[in-house]
């Protein structure tokens, strides 16, 4: 098949592309605008494949999206392109509205026009898979419950509100126009190639440099942590075997507080990188508590029963095994994150399509 992955230079998108090229026989088009978080070095291991192509474009550009569908004639579109950092959405929500809502609308409408023009066999097999987040459900608080696919939406941040809006658009395009859509809502991802502004890589890199490890509030916020390579296997399974019109929650079955995540990183670094920066006795001494984020949800937790029962997916990594792999990866791939921190990773964009 021909698969378009939007946001393919991002964290989850690049992991999905590596999986598709390395583990399947499908052809992949990586569609990415290459904003600050887009890094083509994250797909360098597969970019020489004759089944891989890169297209630099904005999902909000209707003419460019029409050309893309016309030129590549995809069988599946897996839509991951999004602004995703909650703190950035609080500081500047405009880009989140533009990309996450308007961009998704453009893709849906262009996909609908393309889909209606297909011959019956290709039309029956086409899929539009939208990748969303558990943050659309809001805050579980101290309820002890879990998010299911029937949980009411109650987003707390501009980011989660923009993703919730897109979920509703995708469902509307299915119910109104019959577009064969699928939605997945995932918990917090972690793993290799994660952009350094996110919690886990940020803490790893700060610790290695002897910088403070800032923890919001008292660090009691609970998240369900999902190893990114488990996630992309689930995405592929849903895109190829999921029931049209359905949504599937994808979780790691690994609830941990933010503080325990940071402490786990410190413990692993004590074992794997005992030579600390000058003046540092224990990595945990770097933990610093800072003012909490506005509207910070206390707890997210996924019930992934549906995807297990219907499609047979379960995560392979435990939190312990996934975190060990993640910390080791950052220690073994310093050049990747050093180039991100210095800004040199942007050089990989030059010449990718004749423009920056």
Closest CA to 131 of 38, 247, 1: 247
* Cβ-contact 9, 34 below 8 angstroms: yes
Strand order in the sheet with 188-190: 188-190, 222-227, 255-257
Catalytic residue among 83, 135, 224, 230: 135
Active-site residue, 61 included: no
Which residues, 6 or more positions from 180, have their beta carbon under 8 angstroms from its beta carbon? Answer: 115, 126, 127, 128, 174, 244, 245
Burial profile 58-84: b = 16 or more Cβ within 10 angstroms, e = fewer:
bbbeeebbeebbeebebbbbbbbbbbb
Closest CA to 134 of 250, 222, 221, 237: 250
Active-site residue, 135 included: yes
Catalytic residue among 159, 248, 283, 345: 159
Closest CA to 99 of 71, 128, 78, 79: 79
Report how far residue 337's alpha carbon sits from residue 125's, in angstroms, rounded to the nearest whole number.
39
Reported as type and span, the H/E element at residue 69 is: helix 62-72
* Cβ-contact 135, 187 below 8 angstroms: no
Q: Which two tokens stand for residue 249?
A: 């929650």
Catalytic residue among 41, 75, 134, 229: 134
Active-site residue, 197 included: no
Closest CA to 207 of 277, 260, 288: 277
Please name the residue that has the structure tokens 């590596």. Answer: 18
Catalytic residue positions?
134-135, 159
């Amino acid at each position: 098949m021909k698969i378009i992955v939007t946001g393919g230079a991002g964290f989850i998108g690049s992991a999905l592309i590596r999986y598709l090229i390395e583990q399947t026989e499908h052809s992949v088009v990586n569609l990415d605008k290459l904003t600050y978080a887009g890094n083509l070095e994250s797909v360098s291991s597969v970019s020489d494949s004759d089944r891989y192509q890169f297209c630099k474009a904005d999902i909000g550009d209707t003419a460019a999206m029409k050309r893309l569908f016309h030129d590549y004639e995809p069988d599946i579109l897996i839509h991951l392109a999004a602004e995703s950092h909650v703190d950035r959405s609080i500081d500047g929500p405009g880009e989140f509205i533009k990309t996450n809502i308007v961009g998704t609308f453009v893709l849906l409408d262009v996909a609908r026009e393309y889909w209606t023009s297909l011959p019956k066999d290709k039309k029956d097999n086409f899929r539009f898979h939208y990748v969303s987040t558990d943050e659309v459900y809001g805050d579980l608080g101290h309820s002890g419950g879990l998010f299911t696919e029937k949980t009411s939406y109650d987003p707390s941040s501009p980011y989660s509100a923009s993703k919730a809006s897109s979920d509703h658009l995708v469902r509307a395009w299915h119910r109104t126009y019959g577009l064969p859509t699928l939605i997945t809502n995932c918990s917090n991802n972690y793993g290799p190639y994660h952009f350094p502004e996110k919690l886990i890589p940020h803490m790893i890199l700060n610790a290695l440099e002897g910088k403070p490890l800032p923890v919001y509030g008292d660090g009691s916020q609970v998240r369900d942590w999902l190893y990114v390579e488990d996630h992309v296997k689930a995405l592929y399974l849903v895109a190829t075997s999921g029931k049209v019109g359905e949504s599937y929650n994808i979780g790691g079955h690994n609830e941990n507080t933010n503080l325990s995540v940071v402490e786990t990183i410190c413990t692993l670094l004590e074992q794997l990188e005992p030579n600390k920066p000058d003046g540092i006795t224990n990595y945990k001494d770097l933990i610093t508590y800072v003012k909490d984020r506005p509207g910070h949800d206390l707890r997210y937790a996924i019930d992934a029963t549906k995807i297990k029962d219907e499609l047979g997916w379960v995560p392979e990594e435990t939190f312990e095994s996934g975190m060990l792999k993640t910390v080791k990866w950052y220690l073994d791939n310093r050049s990747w994150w050093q180039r991100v921190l210095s800004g040199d990773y942007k050089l990989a964009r030059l010449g990718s399509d004749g423009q920056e």
